[in-house]
């Protein structure tokens, strides 16, 4: 699997440092509150574990599953709610944990959903921000790293369901897509 990677962009140490920076910032920003962390499956599973271990607050954790990609390397415009949460979000301070924000459509979908359900505040903490990919106007509040407009894998992010278990974020060799 490692042989499919052309370039490592962010290694585990760098990602842990980013998670610590953001976890500590959230701890300060939500002092005295009990936020509801909403982790977006599957991509955010490692990022969620890293950030939450750096948050010194009483908090709730829920997992939601949405799908935007359908196996390829381009975002689709259709967002589907695959697995919903069962917890009330009315009057809650929600912090969405995402792997990457690209076109922004997934995030907008989630923010609209939470707003409809009466969330008091909605913040976003993403591992990666691909600002050059935006199609809708949405921003993340806590960003691990900015990335160029290229397809990345690892640390939760997949290509055709593989590479989620790579301990770093990297760029695939073009030959992998050609297969
Ligand atoms: P958006 O709706 O912002 O276009 O895309 C968000 C979702 O698309 C992310 O949560 C992620 O699952 C997927 N995605 C966007 N860019 C990439 C990328 O470079 N690599 C991978 N593996 N997934 C991506
Ligand atoms: Mg995702």
Q: What is the pLDDT along the chain (179 residues), one digit of tens a residue?
A: 999 999 999 999 999 999 999 999 999 999 999 999 999 999 999 999 999 999 999 999 999 999 886 556 666 678 999 999 999 999 999 999 999 999 999 999 999 999 999 999 999 999 999 999 999 999 999 999 999 999 999 999 999 999 999 999 999 998 998 87
Residue 78: per-residue pLDDT: 84
Residue 68: per-residue pLDDT: 80
97: helix, coil or strand? strand
Atom of ligand 1 nearest to the CA of 150: 19
Q: Of all protein residues, whose CA lies closest to atom 16 belonging to ligand 1? A: 102
pTM of full prediction above 0.85: yes
Q: Ligand 1 test: best mutation among 78, 106, 109, 126, most atoms within 8 Å of CB?
A: 106
Active site residue 102: yes
Residue 69: per-residue pLDDT: 62
Residue 60: per-residue pLDDT: 98
| Cα–Cα distance measured from residue 140 to residue 126, given in angstroms and rounded to the nearest whole number | 7
SS3 per-residue string spanning 2-32: HHHEEEEEECHHHHHHHHHHHHHHHHHHCCC
Measured from the alpha carbon of residue 79, the closest ligand is 1
Element (H, E) at 39: strand 36-41
Residue 117: per-residue pLDDT: 98
Q: Residue 98 C-alpha to ligand 2 middle, in angstroms?
A: 6
Render 53-68 in DSSP notation, one character per residue: TT--S--EEEEEEEE-
Residue 67: per-residue pLDDT: 87
């Amino acid at each position: 699997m490692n042989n499919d990677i052309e370039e490592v962009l962010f290694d585990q140490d760098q990602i842990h440092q980013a998670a610590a920076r953001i976890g500590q910032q959230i701890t300060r920003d939500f002092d005295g509150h009990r936020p509801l962390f909403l982790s977006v499956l599957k991509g955010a599973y490692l990022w969620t574990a890293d950030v939450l271990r750096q948050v010194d607050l009483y908090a709730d954790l829920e997992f939601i599953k949405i799908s935007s990609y359908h196996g390829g390397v381009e975002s689709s415009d259709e967002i589907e709610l695959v697995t919903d949460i069962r917890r009330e979000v009315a009057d809650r301070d929600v912090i969405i944990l995402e792997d990457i924000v690209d076109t922004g459509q997934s995030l907008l979908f989630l923010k609209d959903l939470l707003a409809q359900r009466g969330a008091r505040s909605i913040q976003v903490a993403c591992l990666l921000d691909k600002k050059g990919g935006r199609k809708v106007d949405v921003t993340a509040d806590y960003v691990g790293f900015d990335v160029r407009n290229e397809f990345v894998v690892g640390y939760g992010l997949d290509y055709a369901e593989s590479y989620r278990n790579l301990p770093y974020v990297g760029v695939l060799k073009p030959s992998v897509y050609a297969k």
